[in-house]
A and B are shown apart, each in its own frame.
Chain A
Amino acid sequence: MGLAGLLARRNVIFMLMSVEVMLNAAGLAFVVAGSQWGQADGQVMFLFILTMAAAEVSVGLALILQLYHRHKSLDADAASEMKG
């Protein structure tokens, strides 16, 4: 669902949220797998994902602010001037 949102949305904020959904889904999968096999590694991995997601959101939001300053729009397709 996260991936579908990422691909379908054009608003960058929604795309960022979709990325968060994907990260959480991956974390959930880790936790489930950890409890299935009775190992703590899954929960450790989730903590890592949590910190990484926090960092990613801060960077992502900064980028979104820059994008908005440049293009006065949150449309990801507007930032396509690097087209080959």
Chain B
Amino acid sequence: MFGLIWLIPAIPLASFAILATLGSRLPARAVAALGVGSIAGSTAIAIAVASQFLQMQTPVTQVLWTWIHVDGFRPEIAFYLDALSVLMTVVITFVSLLIHIYSVEFMRGLEGYSRFFAYMNLFVASMVTLVLANNLLLLYLGWEGVGLCSFLLIGFWYQDPNNGAAARKAFIVTRVGDTAMALGLFLIFSSLGTLDIQEAMRRAGGQWSVGSGIAIAASALLLGGAVGKSAQLPLQTWLPDAMAGPTPTSALIHAATMVTAGVYLIARTHMLFLLAPPIQSAVAILGTATMLMAGFSAMTQSDIKRVLAYSTMSQIGYMFLALGVGAWSAAIFHFMTHAFFKALLFLAAGVVIEALHHEHNIHRMGGLRRALPIAYWPFLIGGSALAGLPLITAGFYSKDLILAQTLNASARLWTVGILGVLLTSFYTYRLIALVFFGDMRTPVTRTFGAAIRIPILVLALLSIVGGFANVPDFLRTALPVASESHTAEVASGMAAAIAFAVGLCFAYLFFIRRPDVAQAIARNPAANALGRLWHAGWGFDWLYDRVFVRPVVWLADAGKRDFIDSISSGLADLSAAANRALSDTQTGQLRWYAAGIAAGSLVFVAIALFL
């Protein structure tokens, strides 16, 4: 069974190749069958491999071939299977399968149907490669592959220049992080002599001392890559704009899988971060700061998908916090539950947007509770899981685990984490209140079939039962186990439950009971200014535009007008001017031509006579 690991990325890749070359000629039914069938095949193999892994519990490496062999540099195309990569692979393929099924109906009849499935398949192939790679170079290949697919899918509706701009922004901002990561890989290879992850971790543990400069540099550079991909401070600005892509894309790439690649990278190379305590605490602080920042921003957004985008950032902030305090498996646990409930929320949001004829503004929605039960119940379940409704939802268990282990490490970060729970609960129920309660403002124009209902129902189920899986125990072979204290867990769980309830009450008060109070607050100038700041994501776009974008554009402009260019552009200008002058002489009037001939012959006769 382990011999089939390579098929998990290979099947979607093959399907991508077929769809990319022949897709536009295939009928839509065949495109859908190929796109979904390939992912179903991968999922089946992933589950079969996982069930066999459960019996063996030992890591497996499958070497396909040597990729490059240059003087000691020998990366292989090889897949490494341990508890971490098994869990990631199963979650990724399974959620992808559900989202692909959803897309069959959601994208039907739209331009670029086969293009969409081609990109999505390529994405799954890259993501699985990233997760299963046994060396950092292959991981980097998958890393760039998912970045490419993210770019292609954000700009999927390329006729609108805004979508193209959002795609470029996502690509360039993550490229900043990727460059740091590439430098990190160079550093690791030059000092450890290998890119094989397990081997490099072993050698790093042997050669580098705790807190040594090189360990700090290597882990800081890897962290740079991780914050870019996972939309954490300071490279978070691309994610809200990435919502320009189709909703299934937002669900799969920008919520469930790709944005958590940074979390996976840090968990995979946790050895390096253990050797660099300052960087590890930087991970925790960055995560916490992002969580707060995104939480405040999510409270004021009016686009339903942007609310979810900010909440994704804040939940990944939780995962980073967990990684930073050494709760490795809690972070991966939260990744799993987050993949379920956030994909659920996005798919349900897609239903709402479709049903209201592409309406994104939550202030123009409302009263959809009766009209759209297929969106209301998933939203309620997914939102409660996101906010951490105690005891029954998956989100509560994973988040509680993170908070309990944070409490062991740092009380200050824990307090902020609890505040984050309050914010999450507030903005989630604000969203639900605005969309599903109150008066109906836009009529529902569409009904939905089984291909959309079934994935939503499955994800809703998983958002509840996913929390009962004992993921940390499963991961103990791959990641270090954090110390557990039962009292801390209970205390932190209680605090989280109280914070959840407070957030819920506030949301209920402001958006259902007394909307006038919320409006009065919104009219207050100070609150209004704060709201606008949060709405703009704390002004990071504005700042980056001033600090980076404009100087670079100015430099490029200045570079375009330098001396060397003036020669070549001067030549072009000269010939253009000559062309204009000559074309002016072509008046089309015969007599002018005759006069020209006569004058010319006179001149030549004169020259012949007098010289």
Question: Which residue of A6, A81, A83, A84 has the most chain B CB atoms within 10 A of its CB atom?
Answer: A84
Q: Enumerate A7-54 residues with CB–CB distance to B below 8 Å.
A: 7, 10, 15
Q: Which residues of A contact B584 (CB under 8 A)?
A: 84
B588 touches A6 (CB 8 A): no
Q: How many pairs of A and B residues are in contact by the CB < 8 Å rule?
A: 35
Q: Which residues of B contact A77 (CB under 8 A)?
A: 589-591
B587 at the A interface (CB under 8 A): yes
Q: Which residues of B contact A82 (CB under 8 A)?
A: 586, 588
A57 at the B interface (CB under 8 A): no
B: contact size bracket: 10 to 19
A76 touches B583 (CB 8 A): no
A80 and B591 in contact, given A3-B598, A7-B598 (Cβ under 8 angstroms): no
B582 at the A interface (CB under 8 A): yes
Q: Enumerate A64-84 residues with CB–CB distance to B below 8 Å.
A: 76-77, 79-84
A84 touches B582 (CB 8 A): yes
A6 touches B582 (CB 8 A): no
Residue of A nearest to B587 (CB): A83
Residue of A nearest to B601 (CB): A3
Min CB distance B217 to A, Å, is 66
How does the 8 Å CB contact mask read for B587-609 relative to A, with 1 for contact and 0 for none? 11111001100100000000000
Min CB distance A73 to B, Å, is 13
B590 touches A83 (CB 8 A): no
B594 touches A80 (CB 8 A): no
Q: Which residues of A contact B594 (CB under 8 A)?
A: 6-7
Residue of A nearest to B583 (CB): A84
Residue of B nearest to A82 (CB): B588
Residue of B nearest to A76 (CB): B590
Question: Which residue of B582, B584, B586, B588 has the most chain A CB atoms within 10 A of its CB atom?
Answer: B588
Residue of B nearest to A10 (CB): B591
Q: Which residues of B contact A83 (CB under 8 A)?
A: 586-589
Min CB distance B38 to A, Å, is 60
B190 at the A interface (CB under 8 A): no
Q: Which residues of A contact B589 (CB under 8 A)?
A: 76-77, 80, 83
Q: Which residues of A contact B598 (CB under 8 A)?
A: 3, 7
A80 touches B595 (CB 8 A): no
Q: Which residues of B contact A15 (CB under 8 A)?
A: 590-591
A84 touches B586 (CB 8 A): yes
Q: How far is the CA of A83 from the CA of B591 in the complex (A)?
A: 13
Question: Which residue of B582, B587, B591 has the most chain A CB atoms within 10 A of its CB atom?
Answer: B591
Q: How far is the CA of A15 from the CA of B594 in the complex (A)?
A: 11
B445 at the A interface (CB under 8 A): no
B585 at the A interface (CB under 8 A): yes
Other-chain contact of B591, A6, A81, A84 (Cβ < 8 Å): A6
Q: Enumerate B540-589 residues with CB–CB distance to A below 8 Å.
A: 582-589
Min CB distance A33 to B, Å, is 16
How does the 8 Å CB contact mask read for B492-534 relative to A, with 1 for contact and 0 for none? 0000000000000000000000000000000000000000000
A interface, CB within 8 angstroms of B:
3, 6-7, 10, 15, 76-77, 79-84
23 pairs, A vs B, C-beta closer than 8 Å: A3-B598, A6-B591, A6-B594, A7-B591, A7-B594, A10-B591, A15-B590, A15-B591, A76-B590, A76-B591, A77-B589, A77-B591, A79-B588, A79-B590, A82-B586, A82-B588, A83-B589, A84-B582, A84-B583, A84-B584, A84-B585, A84-B586, A84-B587
Given contacts A10-B591, A15-B590, A82-B588, 13 further A-B contacts (CB under 8 A): A6-B591, A6-B594, A7-B591, A7-B598, A15-B591, A76-B589, A76-B590, A77-B590, A77-B591, A81-B588, A82-B586, A83-B587, A83-B588
B interface, CB within 8 angstroms of A:
582-591, 594-595, 598
The 8 closest A-B pairs by CB, nearest first: A84-B586, A80-B588, A83-B588, A84-B583, A76-B590, A82-B588, A80-B589, A77-B589
